[in-house]
Structure 1
Amino acid sequence: MKFKQLWQRIEVMLHPLVMLMCLLLICTSPWILIGRQLGSRASFWDFFHVYVGLFTALLAIMFTYKVCSAGQWRQFFPWLTLEFKPLLADMRGLLQGQLPHSGGKGLISVIEGIGVILLLLVVITGGVWYAVEPNAALVWRGYHILFAQGFIGFIALHCLLALLHLRDFFS
């Protein structure tokens, strides 16, 4: 199988797989007791979180590549090209009681872009926490938890937006 064909098969599954893995990591995170490093007294859940987290980090990087390739980054990050009109139009619509539609470069796409950024921040801080010296690990653990909590908020918002997206099919 050629690389392009393999990538196309993986690409289709990235969004649900990343979401599933993230939810698995979030749901099991209360049992994580790692402070500074993964030591000899680490539990099954500590090892699970670290190694499933590393796998999820790889998936997250591939997902980011997918959503940003071929110029798609402009849809999720229109503010990088100073394109604010669709976002402002959606926000004006909200003030008038109109829900934004998915797609384009409006509010929903910008929120999804913020989710990608939060996901990458969780990946980066988790990786650095794993790699740094024990003296600096607790600081990075704190950053990792902070960005993970932000990402949890994003997931809740993302689910709400997905329900709004279903509305588009019926209108």
Structure 2
Amino acid sequence: MSTAGGQGSRRQHLWLALLAAWLALTSPWVHMLRRIPRNAGWLDYAHLGLGLLATVLALTYLVACFRGGGWRVYLPWLSGRMAPVTRELRGLFRGELPTAEGGGLFALIEGLLLLAMLAAGLTGVAWLALAGTPEAVAWRGYHILAAQGMIALLVLHVITVSLHLLDFIRE
């Protein structure tokens, strides 16, 4: 994601990237369904603690990125500014790489990733808050769907950053 807001936002971006990667990569070993099991291990508790931290960071990073009209760049459909995204999607079919600046496809992916990260965090918090209730299982399902969407968008984000770096090196 763009580092709108200076050094503090760069640190948030780095921490969010590390946390998202760690949470996604270790999630297959987290075993919780309706509640935290009695025999929960350090991975289970680390997932809970780092997930809560990631949720707070995602929320504060969203505020940093969206303030001052930044939401228009990352969520262009909300302001009716889809023309740059559409233009860049058409360009992909002609073999052109989207630009990293200007609120096009890359920024849209970044905005969706941030929303998906926040959704994964908030659904995880809801799941934890409802632990031990029948609703916890449903929120676990929502959390998994949001996390899968976040992972897909994270992969897309890494690809777009890699393409941008390749383009930068070629120049």
Give the whole-Å Cα distance in 1 for the aligned partners of 2:31 and 2:63: 32
Give the whole-Å Cα distance in 2 for the aligned partners of 1:110 and 1:22: 19
Gaps in structure 1 of 5+ consecutive residues: 1-6
* Higher RCO (CA 8 Å, separation ≥ 6 residues): 2
Task: State the partner residue of 2:149.
Answer: 150
1:79 maps to 2:83: no
Deviations 1:122-165 (A, max 9, x none): 01110100111521001110111111111111111111101111
- The one-letter code of the counterpart of 2:45 is F
Give the whole-Å Cα distance in 2 for the aligned partners of 1:10 and 1:108: 22
Give the whole-Å Cα distance in 1 for the aligned partners of 2:166 and 2:130: 46
Q: CA deviation at 1:8?
A: 5.9
**Residue of structure 2 aligned with 1:27, choices 18, 25, 31:** 25
Task: State the partner residue of 2:127.
Answer: 129
Structure 1 residues 100 and 8: alpha-carbon distance in aligned structure 2, compared to 1, 3 A threshold: closer
Give the whole-Å Cα distance in 1 for the aligned partners of 2:144 and 2:81: 32
Q: Note the aligned Cα RMSD (angstroms).
A: 1.6
Q: Which runs of 4+ in 1 moved over 6 A?
A: none
Deviations 1:62-84 (A, max 9, x none): 11111111111111111101112
Gaps in structure 2 of 5+ consecutive residues: none
Aligned identity (percent) is: 35
Give the whole-Å Cα distance in 1 for the aligned partners of 2:100 and 2:7: 25
Give the whole-Å Cα distance in 2 for the aligned partners of 1:107 and 1:72: 15
1:98 maps to 2:91: no
Task: State the partner residue of 1:141.
Answer: 140
Structure 1 residues 24 and 138: alpha-carbon distance in aligned structure 2, compared to 1, 3 A threshold: same
Task: State the partner residue of 2:57.
Answer: 59
Task: State the partner residue of 2:11.
Answer: 13
